[in-house]
Amino acid sequence: MTDGTGALFALNEDQIAIRDMARAFAAEKLAPHAVEWDAKKHFPVEEMREAAELGMGGIYCGEEFGGSGLTRFDAALIFEALAQGCPTVSAFISIHNMATWMVDKYGTPEQRARWVPGLCRMDKFASYCLTEPNAGSDAAALKTRARLDGDYYILDGQKQFISGAGHPDDFYVVMARSGGDGPRGISTFVVEGGTPGLSFGANEYKMGWNAQPTRAVIFEECRIPVANRIGEEGMGFKIAMSGLDGGRLNITACSIGGAQTTIDKSIAYMRERKAFGKRLDEFQALQFRLADMAIELEAARTFLWRAAAALDRKDPDATQLCAMAKRFGTDTGFKVANEALQLHGGYGYLSEYGIEKIVRDLRVHQILEGTNEIMRLIVARGLIGDGK
Distant-in-sequence, close-in-space partners of 340: CB < 8 Å, separation ≥ 6 = 259, 262, 263, 265, 266, 293, 348, 355, 358
Q: How many Å apart are CA 353 and CA 210, to the nearest integer?
A: 17
From 371, 370, 372, 362, select the one nearest 91 (Cα to Cα): 362
**Contact indicator for 341, 348 with CB cutoff of 8 Å:** yes
- How do strand 170-177 and strand 198-200 relate by DSSP bridges? unpaired
Find the DSSP H helices in 147-212.
Answer: none
3-state secondary structure of 31: helix
Partnered with residue 274 across adjacent β-strands are 279
In the beta sheet, which residues pair with residue 153?
148, 224
47, 272, 369, 373: the catalytic one is: 369
Q: Is 220 one of the annotated active-site residues of the chain?
A: no
Please report how many Cα atoms fall inside a 13 Å half-sphere around the Cα of residue 339, on the Cβ side.
23
Total number of residues shown for the chain: 388
Contact between 358 and 258 (Cβ < 8 Å): yes
Indicate the SS3 state at residue 347. helix
CA angle 88, 72, 248 (to 5 degrees): 50
Strands 229-230 and 145-149: unpaired
Q: How far is CA 11 from CA 210, 231, 321, in A?
A: 33, 36, 21
Closest CA to 129 of 74, 73, 193: 193
Active-site residues: which are they? 369
